[in-house]
């Protein structure tokens, strides 16, 4: 498996865990140092992000990344791409269309996402 394939597989596990609300799998792919910047500009760290999913305040229904470019930077990788999907926040439907940048690195022998930022596409 190439580094690119490994990063794409880790990202697919992350998206599936978000949809499934799977705390264990989220903890397996999200670094404790995670900084997640939403398209609204709100910033969450890993524990708050997972808690919002686990509580049901945020439900991801569909997450697709039809376009991803993986850029290797030594033992870290940047992913740049497009995001499409749907979610609910406090029961309100939200259409997810945007561009994203994510950063991945190796921690204790596995790939972990350390940063995420989304820009909405209107």
Cβ contacts of 61 within 8 Å, gap of 6 or more: 19, 85, 86, 87, 88
Domain total for the chain?
A: 1
Largest CA-CA distance found in the chain, in angstroms, rounded: 42
Domain that holds residue 108: 3-120
Q: What CATH number should be reported for the domain holding residue 62? A: 3.10.450.50
For residue 30, the model assigns a pLDDT of: 98
User: Phi/psi class of residue 19: alpha, beta or left (left: φ > 0; alpha: ψ in -120 to 50)?
Assistant: alpha
Give the pLDDT of the chain (122 residues) as one tens digit per residue: 679 999 999 999 999 999 999 999 999 999 999 999 998 899 999 999 999 999 999 999 999 999 999 999 988 999 999 999 999 999 999 999 999 999 999 998 999 999 999 999 87
Q: What is the pTM of this model?
A: 0.94
């Amino acid at each position: 498996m190439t580094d690119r394939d490994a990063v794409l597989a880790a990202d697919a596990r992350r998206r599936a865990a978000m949809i499934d609300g799977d705390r264990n799998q989220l903890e397996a792919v999200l670094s404790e140092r995670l900084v997640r910047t939403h398209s609204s500009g709100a910033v969450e760290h890993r524990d708050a992000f997972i808690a919002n999913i686990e509580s049901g305040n945020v439900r991801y229904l569909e997450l697709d990344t039809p376009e991803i470019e993986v850029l290797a930077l030594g033992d870290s990788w940047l992913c740049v791409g497009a995001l499409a999907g749907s979610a609910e926040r406090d029961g309100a439907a939200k259409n997810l269309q945007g561009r994203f940048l994510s950063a991945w690195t190796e921690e204790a022998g596995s790939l972990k996402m350390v940063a995420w930022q989304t820009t909405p596409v209107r």
